[in-house]
Amino acid sequence: MTHEGQKKESKIEVIKRESRYLRGTLKEALQDESPLFSEENVQVLKFHGVYQQDDRDLRLKLKKEGKDKHYIMMVRARIPGGVLNPDQYLVFDRLADEYTDYGTLRITTRQTIQLHGVIKRNLKTAIQNLNEVLIRTLGGCGDQVRNIISCAAPGDEPFRTEMREDVLSLVDRLGAKTRAYYEIWLDGEPVQLDEGESEEPLYGEVYLPRKFKVAMAPEGDNCIDVYDNDIGFVAHIENRHVVGYTVLVGGGMGRTASDKATYPRLASPLCYVSRTDLVETAAAIVTIQRDYGDRVNRRFARMKYLIDRRGSDWFLTELESRLNRTLEAPRPLVWHSAADHLGWHREREGVSYLGLYVPNGRVKDSESVKLKSALRDIVREFRPTVRLTTQQNVILSGIPDELRPEIERKLREAGVPLVEEVSAVHRHAMACVALPTCGLAVAESERALPGLLPVFERVFEELGIADEPITIRMTGCPNGCARPYNADIAFVGRTMGKYDVFLGGSHLGTELNELFKEFVPLDQLVDSVRPVLAAYAQEREPGENFGEFCRRVGLDRFRHVEQALL
């Protein structure tokens, strides 16, 4: 039964309830010879940070040969704020070589690493290896609070340390507590629960109705797209210290192209809380979604739909009643940047950090660019802290200034471009994984965007807008994993080879874009937006960015131009 009516709960709710706090029959399944998990275990596995996939490039060939799919697992770690010590990074690097089909690491849009292509037989060892360096995968996926993201830039300002402490407190309070993880992957002793005792005091036995995302940004720099999360905390900083947080709620990108009732939504400001009240406020919000979120129809189960259904006033009243006090109004928010943190920056006296561009987050060695090897060698030799950004890049931090030339030399030798050699078009672009591993992809993304960006570079050069911070994001389906709906330009896969084009978001992540054209073939994507870019180059007002221009002049004008030409 749900709060939203009398209808039957979804099948996944039943699986969760019957899983005994995420045990399912995973322990047994890991011992059998089958290359795949049962349907129920596939759902439970997600909570442990593992997706069962198959290599979609091989499907047709294997089918013709009368063989089953090539089943592989994707392992997604939980790395709060994207911070890894050198040993942790090196374990990922090694596991990619030893246990994955592709030999790559994939930095995600939520500051973690995915290993694609681990076969079932190797899964337990891979997860054990991660746990040996204190990397958990519990919470990587599933209907629970996912990896909590936060600005990855290091620095000696006290507010950075305070935000880090607060992120870790949130992880501690909001993360899953089940001992199943230790029993299944680390051979821990089974726990004996007393009658009525819960292993998940916050979630209960059915966890949350849907995935739940939490983010923390310092006021002024929206490098993490804080508005795209179920809860966004924006730190207000006075005299270099965090004084409190404005709380944003109800963000989310996911939509279904064929269902107009679904939509992306930016989180809206709800209240302001002090640092001391942060964690309990977050937990209380989670319990509202736990108790009232839709458990019948997963398509409408994210908290954004709950808030829109019941209203922000209801939500605030409910929160106040759970916290037993009146909450302060949110503070006004001002954004100056959405920094990518690339290049060299001062971290503290005599110490720097280096942000490196990783095309679509894929850490690999190619013929000409040996990024994976270079990172491994640098991390081994100089032992920087490795920080992953939500723009799929990597930061090497804690580097004594005198080592800078040596590190640059190593990167150049490996063919890794430094920021000066990366165009603005590339710096501001992102693609989701899509094919061949994502089971939901209907079009290419990570493998298609690299072909488009050089063409955009030429167009931007011709139009004299090469240095403008125009974000281009691509996804292989409407789910929105590369956060396309607040990009200036977005290509969202609609069917194989065709994309919906969205225009007019904002580089600062504060505006949603608008659907411009549907079903545009891959080779016509650049041309489809060229007239708008040309008009922007000609007619923009001083300081006006691309998204603002689109919203000021309206996209109809360009739709009509094209219709007139037809």
Would you call 287 helix, strand, or coil by DSSP? helix
Strand (E) positions, 219-275? 231-238, 241-249, 268-274
Contact 482, 430 (CB under 8 A): yes
Minimum distance of ligand SF4 from residue 520's CB (angstroms)? 17
4 vs 493: CA distance, rounded Å: 32
Q: Which does 376 bind (CB under 5 to 8 A by kind): ligand SRM, ligand SF4, none?
A: none
Active site residue 260: no
2 vs 336: CA distance, rounded Å: 43
Q: Which does 213 bind (CB under 5 to 8 A by kind): ligand SRM, ligand SF4, none?
A: ligand SRM
Task: Give 31 or 258: the residue with its C-beta nearer to ligand SF4.
Answer: 258
Question: Beta-carbon neighbour count of residue 526 at 10 Å?
Answer: 18
Query: Positive or negative CA dihedral for 118, 122, 123, 126?
Result: negative
Minimum distance of ligand SRM from residue 309's CB (angstroms)? 15
Among 23, 48, 70, 213, binds ligand SRM (CB under 6 A): 213
Q: Which does 40 bind (CB under 5 to 8 A by kind): ligand SRM, ligand SF4, none?
A: none
Tokens 């960006």 belong to 453
354 vs 372: CA distance, rounded Å: 16
Minimum distance of ligand SF4 from residue 74's CB (angstroms)? 10
Among 147, 289, 352, 389, binds ligand SRM (CB under 6 A): 147
The answer to the question of residue 341 lying near ligand SRM (CB under 6 A) is no
Active site residue 141: no
Strand (E) positions, 288-332? none
Structure token digits, residue 335 = 């954004």
Task: Give 222 or 475: the residue with its C-beta nearer to ligand SF4.
Answer: 475
The answer to the question of residue 74 lying near ligand SRM (CB under 6 A) is yes
Active site residue 477: yes
Minimum distance of ligand SF4 from residue 477's CB (angstroms)? 3
Among 16, 23, 76, 236, binds ligand SRM (CB under 6 A): 76
The answer to the question of residue 23 lying near ligand SRM (CB under 6 A) is no
Q: Are strands 498-503 and 489-495 parallel, antiparallel or unpaired?
A: antiparallel
- Specify which residues 387 forms β-bridges with: 83, 395
* Contacting ligand SRM within 482-521 (CB under 6 A): 482-483
Contact 420, 356 (CB under 8 A): no
Q: Reply yes or no: is the peptide bond before residue 359 cis, omega within 30 of 0.
A: no
* Contacting ligand SRM within 243-282 (CB under 6 A): 252-254
> Which residue in 141, 151, 271, 438 is the catalytic one?
438
Cβ neighbors of 351 (< 8 A, separation 6 or more) are: 398, 399, 400, 401
Which stretch in 108-116, 153-161, 166-174, 266-274 sits in contact with ligand SRM by CB under 6 A? 108-116
Would you call 45 helix, strand, or coil by DSSP? helix
Cβ neighbors of 524 (< 8 A, separation 6 or more) are: none
* Contacting ligand SRM within 151-190 (CB under 6 A): none
> Which residue in 141, 223, 271, 481 is the catalytic one?
481
Vertex 192 angle, CA 27 and 42, to 5° = 25
Give residue number: closest CB to ligand SRM.
Answer: 254
Active site residue 164: no
Task: Give 411 or 429: the residue with its C-beta nearer to ligand SRM.
Answer: 429
Q: Which does 76 bind (CB under 5 to 8 A by kind): ligand SF4, ligand SRM, none?
A: ligand SRM
Contact residues for ligand SF4 (CB under 6 A)?
432-434, 438, 440-441, 445, 475-477, 479-481
Active site residue 146: yes
Q: Which residues of 188-222 are buried (b: 16+ CB within 10 A; e: fewer)?
A: eeeeeeeeeeebeebbbebbbbbbbbbbbbbbebb
Catalytically active residues, by annotation: 76, 146, 211, 213, 432, 438, 477, 481
Judged by the rule CB under 6 A, the positions of this chain that interact with ligand SRM are 51, 53, 74, 76, 108-110, 112, 114, 146-147, 211, 213, 228, 252-254, 302, 361, 432-433, 437-440, 479-483
